Amino acid sequence: MKTILIASDHAGFTLKAKLKAYLEKTGFKAKDLGTYSQDSCDYPVFASRLSEQISKGKYKQGILICKSGIGNSIVANRFPGVRAALCYNIKAARLSREHNDSNVLVLGSGFVDTAQAKKIVRAWLETGFQGGRHLRRLNCIKNIEDKIRSGKK
């Protein structure tokens, strides 16, 4: 059984619970990294918790949810090797996998309802990376990350 990390802040908590159940119903193990209530909290805590595990290679994929998805995207993409894609529709989810090999799906609970979020998640999970010219671009991103880490320009 494939494990998918999932995390949210308070604004994404309800959608996260529904998506966690959906993932488990469709044959995935959803490892919930919080938050565990609708009490106000800080999204960077949960976005970094998930992204660190993806960055270190402990898990292959994750889903982050907050109100807009923007803050989670900003945090997640600071981690080397994390390619977080904020997707508000199915087409964006597919393209994020085909062209960018995204490994973190970011959703905004204020922009997608549960039914749409399930369709986006399904498309994201079922779509593979196309490789080819897109692999060259991913290698460019990796080179940029390596330069930043090493302090070279």
Task: State the CATH number of the domain containing residue 110.
Answer: 3.40.1400.10
Does the annotation count 140 as an active-site position? Answer: no
* Active-site hit among 10, 41, 66, 140: 66
Side-chain half-sphere exposure of 99, counting CA atoms within 13 A = 7
Which residues, in sequence order, are bridge partners of residue 4? 30
Predicted confidence at residue 75, as pLDDT, reads: 98
Residues of the chain with pLDDT under 70: 153
| Angstrom distance (rounded) from CA 81 to CA 59 | 12
Q: What is the pLDDT of residue 153?
A: 62
pLDDT at 134: 93
> So what's the pLDDT on residue 132?
87
Domain holding 55, by residue range, is: 3-150
**What's the total number of domains in the chain?**
1
Query: Tell me, what DSSP letter sits at residue 39?
Result: S
Mark whether 134 is an active-site residue: no
User: Choosing from 10, 99, 134, 140, which is the catalytic residue?
Assistant: 99
pTM of the model: 0.95
Q: Residue 1 has what pLDDT?
A: 87
Q: What is the pLDDT of residue 49?
A: 98
What does each C-alpha distance from 43 to 40, 54, 96, 148 come to in angstroms? 9, 17, 22, 25
